[in-house]
Amino acid sequence: AKQEGLTCFKFFNPELRQVLERDLLIEQGLRLCIENQELFVYYQPKVHVAEHKLYGVEALLRWKHPQLGFVSPAAFIPIAEEAGMIHALGDWVLESVCQQLRRWDEEGIEVGTASMNVSLKQLEHMDYKDRVLSTLERYSIHPSRLELEITESIAMCDQEHILHTLNELHEQGLKLSMDDFGTGYASLSYITLYPLNTIKIDRTFVEATTVSDQIKLIDMIISMTHQLGLEVIAEGVETVEQMEYLQARQCVLMQGYLFSKPLPANEFIIWLHQYEAQ
Ligand code: C2E
Ligand code: CA
Ligand code: CA
Ligand code: CA
């Protein structure tokens, strides 16, 4: 049916046709990407700027498509969610991250907490909690070493089940962070509803450290997290000016190209040695 749809579009909108063909290629490719070993996890450091120390890592999924090359997760994650394949991808990421943490443990390398992005669709799944806990157990990793990054979209669906899942994972020691904070349309009340440890200031606010109104927003977010007793981390830090601005506002946890891009595990360790030697 999708093929027919594409031929209809062909005559009046070649651009749209290209997008649809690409999406179709992505959707078809996703079905084989695990089997064909086309997935990788990259790690981006989170640093404690004041102490010049590694605070943790964020795991980011990478997919090398045989024809398209590296496809951005921003492009394929929504398609995977629609096509019901996000569960398999999420499980694969969970497994890889646990495996990597185990390996680093054995090598005596301390990376702190590893965070993973989790979509709403994954949390809706009945087994999610058990899958996370059993995978951690299989690799002998304490739940407090893992953090889930969720987005504000979670506040839009008032699902008892999701709240229950998150509470139970939190009780087991898992950390929870609110990603892309300030970009959603949710009311603020959900912040106290979920068992959050950390708020992640979205890159768009960090970029705007020179625009006065946006600066007020960053200041507000930071002071709010301090008042609520939550950790605050800024993402997308690219310049020294941004770093200094945030640090002056007592936001000392940061992540961004200024420190490092997301890297394959082995390159990340090389980066870490260099960073620690500085
Ligand atoms: P996100 O969770 O907000 O991740 C941050 C994105 O910003 C990453 O893009 C990262 O590479 C990029 N980034 C980091 N530092 C900088 C910086 O200083 N400047 C700029 N311009 N960008 C920076 P990436 O890896 O392409 O991921 C895009 C999005 O895809 C993620 O946004 C996340 O929502 C989603 N995603 C990635 N991996 C997974 C996954 O395993 N599961 C799920 N459900 N979503 C994932
Ligand atoms: Ca994230
Ligand atoms: Ca983010
Ligand atoms: Ca973001």
Q: Is the CB of 117 under 6 A from ligand 1?
A: yes
Q: Measured in angstroms, how far is the CA atom of residue 110 from the centroid of ligand 3?
A: 23
Q: What is the pLDDT of residue 73?
A: 97
Please list the pLDDT of the chain residue by residue as tens digits (278 residues): 445 555 555 556 778 888 888 889 999 999 999 999 999 999 999 999 999 999 999 999 999 999 999 999 999 999 999 999 999 999 999 999 999 999 999 999 999 999 999 999 999 998 999 999 999 999 999 999 999 999 888 777 768 899 999 999 999 999 999 999 988 766 777 888 899 999 999 998 898 766 677 788 889 999 999 999 999 999 999 999 999 999 999 999 999 999 999 999 999 999 999 999 99
CA of 255, nearest ligand number: 1
Q: Which residue has a Cα nearest atom 43 of ligand 1?
A: 117
What is the chain's alpha carbon radius of gyration, rounded to the nearest angstrom?
20
- 194 to each of 73, 122, 178, 180, 208, how far by Cα in Å? 26, 17, 9, 16, 28
Ligand 1 pocket check: which of 34, 43, 60 to mutate, most ligand atoms within 8 Å of Cβ? 60
Give the whole-angstrom CA distance, residue 225 versus residue 201: 10
Buried b (16+ CB within 10 A) or exposed e, 207-225: eebeeeebeeebeebbeeb
CA of 200, nearest ligand number: 3
Cβ atoms 41, 92 nearer than 8 A: no
Q: Measured in angstroms, how far is the CA atom of residue 1 from the centroid of ligand 2?
A: 35
Reference 121, options 87, 98, 91; nearest CA is 87
Which DSSP letter does residue 145 get? G
Give the residues across from 63 on adjacent strands. 39, 71
